[in-house]
Amino acid sequence: MDLSIYLNMMISAAWYLIPIFIFAIVIKSAWFKGFFKGMVGEWQVNLLIKFFLNKNDYHLIKNVTLPTDDGTTQIDHIIVSKYGIFVVETKNMKGWIFGGENQKQWTQQIFKHKSKFQNPLHQNYKHVKTLESCLRIKSDTLFSVIIFIGDSTFKTQMPENVRFARGGIEYIKSKTDAIFNGDEVANIIEQVESGRFERGFKTNRQHIKHVRDIVEDKADIKSCTKCGSDMVMRKATKGKSAGNEFWGCSAFPNCRNILNKAP
């Protein structure tokens, strides 16, 4: 066989293999696994809403990206009804979940491995306040709802608006006092739809960049290993360590944990 023909065949084959190679790298990346897990969780919550909430009473708006003073915020689900506006944050996780309403970080434990994640109530608080500002409505007309999906178990007492799977739907249905009339519901839906960023890759990419910037800004902030609050730099005033700086829990005196001493 002529050498040039052989080389051309090799080059042609390589062009077919490159996309496969890139795809293999992407699906093994932490980013893709996190994205896929989040997408599956949101899909499961979509099904719960579809099957267990009357669509005539509850209007679902999915994956809403809204402008904020410092960038954007992305809301998994907004459910508009005459009983109020429900802002839903989805968490697709497994293992044991430990957390408290006022803790900045919660803990996920799978066997002996523990990892920290942002308190979803705090995460959803920004969503709620952004929506409140955009719609210019009273705060008591919005309800924050956290729905966990996956093979997870709560190991600490959770607030009533933090539920597992269908429990989140039951919480939404527990609100039975009419707040809005039909015209007001229609107007809220129109405001959300017209005020959101256009759905698509560009919007998602900009939001992901904004989230990464926030994470980098907070990278140097230490968290208390006991209660999850921020650690702050303090200076000892008494004893042999007087004058030395150390990291102390910001929840002092309720928490007296010292994470480590500053060099």
Convert the pLDDT of each residue in 217-241 to its tens digit.
444 556 676 666 677 777 777 777 7
Separation of alpha carbons 24 and 20, rounded Å: 6
How many domains, the chain? 2
Are 146 and 250 members of one domain?
Answer: no
Determine the 3-state secondary structure of 15 from DSSP.
helix
Are 91 and 205 members of one domain?
Answer: yes
Are 93 and 213 members of one domain?
Answer: yes
Tell me if 8 is assigned to some domain: no
pTM > 0.75: no
Tell me if 168 is assigned to some domain: yes
Is the confidence at residue 9, as pLDDT, over 90? no
Are 144 and 257 members of one domain?
Answer: no
Are 157 and 197 members of one domain?
Answer: yes
Are 210 and 249 members of one domain?
Answer: no
Tell me if 255 is assigned to some domain: yes
pLDDT per position as a tens digit, 163-219: 999 999 999 999 999 999 999 999 999 999 998 877 543 444 443 443 344 344 444
The two three-digit tokens of residue 214, written as one number:
């926030």
Separation of alpha carbons 23 and 25, rounded Å: 5
The two three-digit tokens of residue 22, written as one number:
């890139």
Are 115 and 71 members of one domain?
Answer: yes
Are 240 and 174 members of one domain?
Answer: no
Domain that holds residue 247: 231-261
Determine the straight-line distance between the first and last CA of the chain, rounded to whole angstroms: 70
Separation of alpha carbons 133 and 148, rounded Å: 27
